[in-house]
C-alpha cells in the first residue's frame, strides 16, 4: 500500500516501475516517451491512475507527450491541475 | 494516374523500425482482416463500431483505394515475424495545399502498446512529406479515445479544433478532436528521420503542390 506521506513524484515512480517494467527503475527525470516506457496504449492506465489517485481531471489539451515525458513533468501537470481546482473553489 | 502508381505501384515498400508498409492486394483479404473489422473491441472508438462487414465490402474498399488518385492504402507488417497487423490510409484531401488525412487500424489486439502505430504513422508521414511533397497531415478522433489523442500529439500534431458533440459514443454526444502537423513540427519529434530515405522504389512522383511557393 502506498504510504500516506509519499510525494507525488514517488507515487508516480512507483506506479511506472510497477506497471511498465522499465529496463532500469525510472527516476524523476527518466525520459519515458522517447524510450517507449509510456506509449499511446499504456498512457490510458497512467491517466486513469493520476485522475483517481490525485483527484484531478486531465483535459484533452494535456494528453500530449510533453505532459508525460518524465515523472517531473507529470508532477508539474498534477500541481497545475490542483492549483486550477483551488482557484475555482 | 492513381496515387499508388505515383508511389511506385505494388512494389512500394516503406521500412520503419518495427514495421514495414506495403500496398495491399486481394490476396491479403481473408478471415483475419474481416475479423478485425467485425470485432467490437478493435473498433470501439471508430465509426465502424456499429457496422458489420463481409468479404465483398473489403474487396470493394481495396479496389477503390488502389484505383484512386488521392488515396494510398498500405498494410502494416511486423519486421520480426512479417505478420499483417493493421492498415494505414493516406487520403490527399487538398492537392494544391498539399494536405492529407491519415487514419489507421491495428487489428491484431496483441500488438497494441508496442509502439507499432507511431512507427507506422511516422513512416507514412515521412513518406508523404519527403517523397510526395505534401505540406501538412491532419488526423482526428473522438475525445474519449485518449490513446489516439496521445498518438497524434506524439507525432508532433497540434490540437486544431474541437468539434463539439460531433459524434455519439456509448449513447452520449462526444467531441471530435482534429489535429494537424507540419513538417517542422513532425521532424522536431523525429529528427533522425529527416534525411533518411526509408522507401523503395525511390522514383516516386511528387504532387505539384504550393509547398515550394510557401516561405
pLDDT in tens, A56-79: 999 999 999 999 999 999 999 999
Cα–Cα distance, B48 to B7 (Å, whole number): 28
Res A5 pLDDT > 70? no
Contact map slice: B 42-61 vs A, CB within 8 A = none
Compare CB distances from A60 to B114, B118, B177 and report the shortest one's residue: B177
Residues of chain B with pLDDT under 70: 210-215
Task: Using alpha carbons, list the distances in angstroms from residue A82 to A55, A65, A71, A85, B40.
Answer: 8, 20, 16, 5, 36
> What is the value of pTM for the model shown?
0.90
CB contact under 8 A, A42 and B113: yes
Contact map slice: A 22-41 vs B, CB within 8 A = 33, 36, 39-41
Cα–Cα distance, B202 to A3 (Å, whole number): 58
CB contact under 8 A, A60 and B148: no
Cα–Cα distance, A40 to A33 (Å, whole number): 9
Cell of B73: 492504402
Res A40 pLDDT > 90? no
By three-state DSSP, how is residue B200 classified? Answer: strand
Question: For chain A, percent helix, then strand, then coil, each to nearest 5?
Answer: 55, 0, 45
CB contact under 8 A, A65 and B153: yes
* Closest CA in chain B for residue A69: B154
Element containing residue B92 per DSSP (H, E): strand B84-94
Alpha helices by DSSP H, listed for chain B, are 3-6, 31-37, 55-66, 116-130, 146-154, 183-189
- Of residues B169 and A4, more confidently modeled: B169
Res A28 pLDDT > 60? yes
The number of angstroms, rounded, from the C-alpha of A11 to the middle of its chain's C-alpha atoms is 9
By three-state DSSP, how is residue A3 classified? Answer: coil
Which site among A32, A35, A40 would you substitute to test the B interface, given the most B Cβ atoms closer than 10 Å to its Cβ? A40
Instruction: Determine the distance in angstroms separating the CA of A64 from the nearest CA of chain B, rounded to an integer.
Output: 5
Task: Establish if B10 touches chain A: CB-CB under 8 angstroms.
Answer: no
Nearest CA to B117 among B185, B108, B3?
B108
pLDDT value for A2: 45
Compare CB distances from B159 to A33, A42, A60 and report the shortest one's residue: A60
Task: Establish if B177 touches chain A: CB-CB under 8 angstroms.
Answer: yes
Task: Establish if B151 touches chain A: CB-CB under 8 angstroms.
Answer: yes
pLDDT value for B192: 95
How many CB atoms lie under 10 A from the CB of residue A52?
9
* Closest CA in chain B for residue A40: B147
Number of A/B CB contacts below 8 angstroms equals: 47
Compare CB distances from A41 to B112, B162, B175 and report the shortest one's residue: B112
CB contact under 8 A, B115 and A65: no
pLDDT value for B211: 62
Compare CB distances from A39 to B113, B149, B189 and report the shortest one's residue: B113
Cell of A13: 515512480
Res A85 pLDDT > 80? no
Amino acid at each position: 500500500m502506498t504510504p500516506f506521506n509519499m510525494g507525488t513524484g514517488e507515487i508516480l515512480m512507483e506506479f511506472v516501475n510497477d506497471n511498465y517494467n522499465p529496463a532500469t527503475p525510472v527516476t524523476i527525470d527518466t525520459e519515458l516517451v522517447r524510450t517507449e516506457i509510456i506509449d499511446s496504449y499504456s498512457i490510458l492506465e497512467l491517466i486513469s491512475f493520476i485522475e483517481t489517485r490525485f483527484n484531478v481531471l486531465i483535459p484533452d489539451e494535456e494528453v500530449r507527450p510533453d505532459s508525460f515525458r518524465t515523472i517531473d513533468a507529470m508532477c508539474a501537470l498534477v500541481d497545475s491541475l490542483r492549483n486550477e481546482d483551488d482557484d475555482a473553489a | 494516374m492513381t496515387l499508388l502508381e505515383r508511389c511506385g505501384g505494388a512494389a512500394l515498400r516503406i521500412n520503419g523500425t518495427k514495421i514495414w508498409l506495403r500496398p495491399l492486394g486481394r490476396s491479403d483479404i481473408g478471415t483475419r482482416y474481416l475479423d478485425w473489422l467485425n470485432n467490437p473491441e478493435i473498433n470501439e472508438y471508430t465509426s465502424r463500431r456499429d457496422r458489420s462487414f463481409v468479404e465483398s465490402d473489403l474487396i470493394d474498399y481495396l479496389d477503390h483505394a488502389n484505383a484512386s488518385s488521392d488515396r494510398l492504402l498500405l498494410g502494416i507488417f511486423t519486421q520480426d515475424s512479417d505478420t499483417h497487423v493493421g492498415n494505414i490510409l493516406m487520403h490527399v484531401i487538398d492537392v494544391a495545399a498539399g494536405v492529407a488525412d491519415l487514419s489507421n487500424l491495428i487489428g491484431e489486439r496483441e500488438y497494441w502498446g508496442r509502439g507499432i502505430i507511431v512507427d507506422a504513422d511516422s513512416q507514412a508521414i515521412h513518406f508523404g512529406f519527403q517523397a510526395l511533397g505534401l505540406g501538412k497531415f491532419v488526423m482526428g478522433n473522438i475525445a474519449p479515445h485518449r490513446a489516439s489523442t496521445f498518438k497524434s500529439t506524439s507525432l508532433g500534431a497540434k490540437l486544431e479544433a474541437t468539434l463539439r458533440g460531433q459524434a455519439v459514443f456509448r449513447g452520449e454526444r462526444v467531441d471530435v478532436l482534429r489535429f494537424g502537423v507540419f513538417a517542422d513540427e513532425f521532424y522536431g519529434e523525429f529528427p533522425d528521420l529527416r534525411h533518411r530515405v526509408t522507401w523503395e522504389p525511390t522514383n516516386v512522383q511528387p504532387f505539384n503542390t504550393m509547398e515550394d511557393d510557401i516561405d
